[in-house]
Each structure stands twice: as C-alpha cells, then as structure tokens.
Chains A and B, each alone.
Chain A
Amino acid sequence: MYLFANATIYIGLAIAVYSLLIITLGISTKNQKFVNSGKSGMIALFICAAMAMIAMFYLLATSQFQYEYVTDYTSSELPIIYKLTALWAGNAGSLLLWTFFLTLYMIMIAYSRKMKGNPMVPYISAILLANAVFFFFILGFVAKPFNILDTVPTEGKGLNPMLQNPGMIIHPVTLYLGYVGLAVPFAFAMAALLMKNVDDFWIKMTRRWTIVAWLFLSLGNIFGGQWAYVELGWGGYWAWDAVENASFMPWLTATAFLHSVMIQERKNMLKIWNISLIIVSYALTLFGTFLVRSGVLTSVHAFANSNLGLYFLIFMGVAVILALYVLMSRYNLLKRSAGEFNSIVSKESSFLVNNLLLVGAAFATFWGTVFPLVSEAVRGTKVTVGMPFFNKVEAPILLSMMFVMAVCPLLAWQKSTVKNLRKNFMIPAILAVIGMALMVILGIQKAWAVIGYGVIILLLVTHFLEFYRGVKARRKMTKESPFVALYRLMVRNRRRYGGYIVHLGIAFITMGIIGSQNYDVETMKTVPLGQSIELRDYRINYDRLDQKKEGINDIVYADVTVFKNGKKLGTFQPEKVFYGNWEQPSSEVAIISSLKEDLYIVLSAWEDNGKATFVVKVNPMMDWLWIGSFMIVIGALFAVWNGKYGNVTPRYTGVRKEVS
C-alpha cells in the first residue's frame, strides 16, 4: 500500500511535468499529436489523484497508524464518517483534496462538449497543468501525505472534536472547490490573452466558470459560519479571522468581476480591468493559502506551522508576475477596442461604482489582515486587528454596496434621464422612507439598523418592480397568466433573474446580520436546580443535571424547559462534551429557532451542589441568514443552468486554424 500510495504522487508529478511540456511543445509546433498526448496525460493525472485519494481514504478508514497522517488526525474509535473526512483535517490531506479537484476541473474543461475543437483548450490545459505540477511537487516533497512512522503507535491522536460536526464535512470541500474553481477563469483569461482573442465565447465561458467557483466559495463561507454558530458556542458566525478574510477577499473580487464583465459583454470595454480582477481573485486564493499554512498570522484556522506557506507565496509571485507580463504585452490589443459611455448616470456607471465598492471592501479586508505585519515591520510594535475594526470599516462600505445594488436594477442602460429616474425611483424611495419612519416609531432606533433596513426595503421594492414590469410587459404581448409569464420570463433570462434571486438572498443575509448584530441580548447566570433564568420573553427552567457516556466521551447535560410568554416550547439539552482523547471540552448548544429569533443556550459550568451556569442568548433574525444563503445557491444555480432557452454558448468561431 505504501508503495502504491506514494507511486500515485510521484508518477502523478512525472505525468504532470510530461503533459505540461508536451502540450506546450504541441502549441508551439502546432502539432495536434503532441496536444492529444498531453490531454491523455491529463486523464492519467486525474486517475493518479483519484487513486491517491482512494488510498488515503482506505488508510484512514482502516486506521493504519503506521502512517503519520492517520495517527495525527484519527483514532480507532472515531466514527467512520469522521475518519474519512479527516482527509482534509491536516495540511497534506487538504492539499491532496485540492489537487484532486484541480485535476477534476482540468478534465471537465479539456473534454467538455462545449470546448470540443476549441483552440483555447491546449492553452487552458497548459496553465492548469502548471498548477498541477506545483501541487504534485508540494505533495511529493513538502507536505507528504503518505509518510510512514518508525514505530507504529497503538492509537492515533484523534480528530479535533471541533471538526467532528456535519458542517466540517462539507465546509472545506466547498471552500476548496471554490478556491480551485478560480484557477479556471484565470486559465481562460491567460489563454485568451496568449491567443489574442478576448471574444464573446471567452466572456460566456469565463463568466460561467466564475459563477461556479463563486457559488462554491459562497457555500464554503456559509457552511463555515453555520459551523461556527452551532459548534463554537459563542453565538457568532463570522469573526473576521485572517483565514475567513482570506476566503472573503476572492469572493469580493469575483463578485466584482461577475458584474463588470457585463460591461465588457455589452460595450466591449473594461477588458484590462476584468482580466486584472480575475488575476487578483486567483492570486488571493493562493495568498489565503499562504496565510493559513505559514503561521505568519495568528488564526484559529491555522494549520501546523510549516514552510509550506513560503512555497505558496513564491508560486503566487511567479504566477502574478507572469500574468501581468502577458497582460502588459497584450495591452495595446485590449485597449484598441475601448468604447465609451453615454451618460454619467447609467447602469454602466453604477456597475463601476459597484466594482469600486467591492474592490474597496476587498482592499479594506486585505489591509486589516496584513496590518499586524505592516505595523511590526514599520515600527516594531505588534497590533491585533480584530472584529471591532472590520465591523466599523466594512459596515459603511458594504452598506453603500447594498444601496448601489438597490438602485442599479432600475437605472437604464446607456442613459438615465431625470424623468426616468423620477418615474423609477419615486415609489421605492417613498416606501423606504415610510418603512424607516415606521421603524423609528416602533422602537428600532439604532442608526445602522434604520439605515440598513431602509436600504433593504428599497432593494426589495426595486427588485419586485423588476419582476413586476417584466411580467407586465410579457403579458401585454403574450396574454399569459401571471405565473406562466413569470416562469417564462425567468427561464428565458436565466442570468438576469438568477442574479436578482442572488441579490434578494444577499438582502436577507444582510437583514439577519443587522438584526443579530444590533439587537442580540445575552446573559450568564448560575442557578440552583429547579430555578429559572429569564431573558426577554423567555423563561428557561433548569430541571436536571446528569451525565452519560458515549464511546470514550463523557457528556454532562442539563435538561431545561423553555417557555415563551408563558407558553411551553419544549425541553432541551445543552451539553458539555469531555473527549477521551482531547484536552479541551466542547459545548453542544441548544438552539430554538424561529423566523423572529434564535434562543441560544449554552451549559457553561456546574457545581457539586447541582448549581449550573448557563449562557443564554437571543439572536434576532438568524434564520434570515440561512434563508438568504439558500436563495444565493438557488439563484446561482438558476443562472448557470443550461435550460432549453438557456444562454446558448456561441460556438467558437476563431479566425486562425489552431491545434485544439
């Protein structure tokens, strides 16, 4: 097994190098045979990565503790699902997963129906292969997944209990799919530049792949937040930790690209900017990995410190320099076809403002993340840049972003006249102002909340009007029933209405964030058995304290009965779990959810006389966050789904005969 497992890595490295060289040779000599050989090599590479994954799964599942990785992240009593998911618990394993996804994406593109006969394929393949060479090199020489120990331990060290949660099964997978996914638009961009051909086909394909990567990146962040909320027992979901920031930054820049590419599509402008956004998004995924794996910043997510980060930094540097060189060398070509704007107030301009704010938010996140390093370098003083900083700096930027999002759908392409503005915005603006006034009257008086919810009302109304006007226009011509008209309107404009669904999802998430950040209440009380804790409308009766054993873990739990306004909601069990093979205990919280708010109960401590300490929190509107997240997924899938009336990708109609 040892030989087989290691062979998959080293043979993989050899194949990756071979395929890269032969494809490059094929491109330069225009020899289809060489290119085909390289493409076949990519299948072999995928098989190698898949075999390495299977080998690792097998070793983990059968607890082969002679392997360092198996010992470090599993123990024999671990449930099988967590034994398997331990594959991405450590450095080497997670990079193996990354490599597997990279090879998977590679063959998906090289052998896709849409790309058949396309001369871009060899270029894209070569760029992705260069990435694969790097990752196989790392797996072969730096973070080796199949290292064997001199002495075989009888038991493994076990998996960090925090990672033993369904959220942790899926969070890293989606995040890596997003990270690796951004390498695809990068490869498309570089291929287009090298071929001097940034046409419609390029835009459609790149946009599609960016949405896929963006969706996975969103999912990764959402699952991470959800995991933090239920597992960490602090009642929050986003801590602006360096690693969270690392995945948020490419998300912001990819979002910016998805919007600005529309201007390129319509007006053939902003080509350089769009390609720069793709390069930056790709570079930020590598930068994030550098942060996580180098230990330069303190982070709860950090892997064991190693020099791995340095390799990523070097790789990122090389990739960015090469990409910028290619971009500069094609500068004139891209600049030549620049168009112009008709008016200062137009949809085009609002997209530029959107880009400014999204990239601005990404810069603010970047600056806050690296500021501890900057401060230490400049004046030798370490500083901590934590949640209060990011909340204060990002809130105005992201709220302005929401405003642009609310306004943009009603701005006309080309030019918005005063008359047009008045006609489109009068009703939404009046409704938003009435909503804000009502909020103040009803007692919601915190400035951020009032402004934030006001902007969200504006957004909901403008988006409703978009759907309403679309349906109305359609019905005028087709005389369909409203629902049929809505359905057909949406499936015939998938990207547009998918985008709007995503906007609505973001609005719901923002509602949840504003509610839970501004109106949460919390208490920590020690009560004897039979007594109760009261918080807002809730009464929590502390009925029983007991302990049980699950496998090698001891669990202390409390039975609490929850009443809301005197009405019984049920009996719940917040727990504290003491692990047989881990020092730190963890809290299993009791969460009682409703659309209005979550009641969040943590069993914090207890005494011999039965007294127990509880932390009780009321988090308003948390469900809106999850509903919004769900809508983002639906919207993004709706946009990329290739239905009968979907946006048919134009066949490649290049002028030059090339290898493909």
Chain B
Amino acid sequence: MKKKLYLGLLLIAFIFQTSFLRVEASQINYKSAEFKAVAEQFACTCGCGQDHYECDPNTCNLTKAFKKDLVGMMNKGWDKDKIRQYYVNIYGEEILTSPEKSGFSLTAWVLPFVVIGLAAIAVFIIIRKWVKQKGSEAVMTDCESTEDEVEGEILSSMIDEERKKYL
C-alpha cells in the first residue's frame, strides 16, 4: 500500500514537474535577458553574420531550430557555460562569437593590450629622453636667461600690440 502511495506521489510529482517545465518553456522570451546571455554566445552560420540572439527565427530556419534546442537545455537547468561547452564539444570553437579566453585564443584578447602597454612604455621613455635633452641644453643657456627675460617681455608686448591690430 505504502509502495503504491509513494509511486502515486512520484507520479504526481512527475506530472507536476513536466507541466511546470512546460509553463516555463513557454515563458522564455527569445528577447529576454536570460535568453540573450545564452544565445549571444553562438554565431549563426546561415551567413547573416549575426549571433543566435539577433538572428530572426522567422526568416532563418537554422536559428529557429537552434533557439529551440537552447530553450530545451535552459529548461533542463543547464547554465550558459554548460550549454557553451556542449556546443564547443560538438562544433569546435568556431561556433562561438568570440574566441575562448584560454590556450592560443587567449592571445586574441591579450595581445592588443600587451602591444599598447609596451608602446606606452616606449612613448614614456622617448618623452623623458626628449625632456632630458632639453634639460641639458637649458643648463648651458642659463647664464643668458636674465637678458632673455627682458628681451622676452619686450617681444611679448610687441606681439600684443600687433595682435590687437589683427583681431
């Protein structure tokens, strides 16, 4: 009797579970944020150049089936990383819209910043060198500086006068 009861309960739970899943399945909107997070990882191969989130299921049969599969997996409780791994195992890295952040593909992500970083160091060193060059010349011309200042003042007042004429 008890066994029957358990079986009955299990059956009810099973039925309830499927109906619950069905409700959830119909609730997943192809334009929802949760679906976007999963679908935008995968590139559509119909030639549209879009991912499976953007590609229109009403004009592309490929993405129609793909989207259905994704919803199925999401209903099974798979998270986006598990779904990602599943497809990478089948189709390889090409199915993804951006390269993996591991192995050789990591260079795609890292190299631009490494290059900019190295170039930044180079730029800094170059500027410092140019500033230093100027600095050493400044020491040499230091003694002439007072005379220069007076001359500079006269010059700038002359420039000011000229400027007023042209404004």
Contacts and interface: CB of A to CB of B under 8 A. Distances in A.
Interface string A479-500: 0000000001000100000000
A383 B94 contact: yes
B71 interface: no
A378 B111 CA distance: 15
B119 A356 contact: yes
Interface stretch (A55-63, A82-90, A233-241): A233-241
Contact of A363 (B47, B50, B59, B112): B112
B31 A340 contact: no
Nearest to B167: A478
Nearest to A645: B166
Interface stretch (A101-109, A121-129, A306-314, A384-392): A384-392
A342 interface: yes
A368 interface: yes
A613 B123 CA distance: 56
Nearest to B105: A383
A357 interface: yes
A557 B40 CA distance: 29
Contacts, number: 136
B92 A298 contact: no
A338 B109 CA distance: 36
B43 interface: yes
Interface in B29-84: 29-32, 40-41, 43, 47-51, 54, 56, 58-59
Interface string A460-486: 000000000000001001100000000
Interface stretch (B5-13, B16-24, B128-136, B149-157): B128-136
Interface string B72-111: 0000000000000000000011111111000011001101
A585 B60 CA distance: 11
A387 B50 CA distance: 9
Given A363-B115, A371-B108, A604 B56 contact: yes
A298 to B, nearest CB: 7
B120 interface: yes
Interface in A363-391: 363-364, 367-368, 371, 375, 378-379, 381-389
Which of the four size classes fits the interface of chain A?
35 or more
B49 A298 contact: yes
Contacts of B2: none
B104 A299 contact: no
Contacts of B96: 383-384
A605 B43 CA distance: 23
Nearest to A474: B167
Contacts of A523: 29, 31-32
Given A234-B50, A477-B164, A478-B167, A381 B94 contact: yes
A478 B166 CA distance: 11
Interface in A505-525: 522-525
B56 A233 contact: yes
A615 to B, nearest CB: 6
A167 interface: no
Interface string A313-356: 00000000000000000000000000111111000010011001
Contact of B99 (A341, A344, A371, A524): A371
Contacts of A342: 131, 134
B48 A300 contact: yes
A393 B109 contact: yes
Interface in B117-143: 119-120, 123-124, 126-128, 130-131, 133-134, 137
A633 interface: no
A341 B134 contact: yes
A360 interface: yes
A349 to B, nearest CB: 5
Given A341-B131, A488-B167, A388 B97 contact: yes
Nearest to A400: B116
Given A604-B58, A605-B58, A386 B104 contact: no
A431 interface: no
Given A298-B47, A300-B48, A388-B98, A378 B104 contact: yes
Contacts of B41: 388
A529 interface: no
Contacts of A524: 29-31
Interface string A384-408: 1111110011000100000000000
A615 B167 contact: no
Contact of B112 (A241, A367, A488, A604): A367
A584 interface: yes
Contact of A341 (B40, B112, B127): B127
Q: Which of B30, B108, B134, B163 has the most CB of A within 10 A?
A: B108
Interface in A132-168: none
Q: Which of B43, B58, B119, B133 has the most CB of A within 10 A?
A: B58
A393 B58 contact: no
B131 A383 contact: no
Nearest to A488: B167
A375 B104 contact: yes
A407 to B, nearest CB: 16
Contact of B116 (A300, A340, A356, A388): A356
A386 B97 contact: yes
B137 to A, nearest CB: 8
Nearest to B119: A356
A494 B133 CA distance: 34
A585 B59 contact: yes
Contact of A613 (B48, B58, B126): B58
A386 B43 contact: yes
A387 B97 contact: yes
The 6 closest A-B pairs by CB, nearest first: A364-B112, A386-B97, A389-B98, A360-B116, A341-B130, A605-B58
Given A344-B128, A387-B51, 19 more contacts: A300-B47, A300-B48, A342-B131, A342-B134, A356-B119, A359-B119, A375-B99, A384-B93, A384-B97, A385-B108, A386-B51, A386-B97, A397-B116, A478-B164, A523-B32, A604-B56, A604-B58, A613-B58, A615-B31
Interface of B: 29-32, 40-41, 43, 47-51, 54, 56, 58-59, 92-99, 104-105, 108-109, 111-113, 115-116, 119-120, 123-124, 126-128, 130-131, 133-134, 137, 163-164, 167
14 contacts: A234-B54, A234-B56, A236-B54, A239-B49, A300-B47, A360-B115, A364-B112, A367-B108, A368-B108, A384-B43, A384-B99, A397-B112, A477-B163, A523-B32
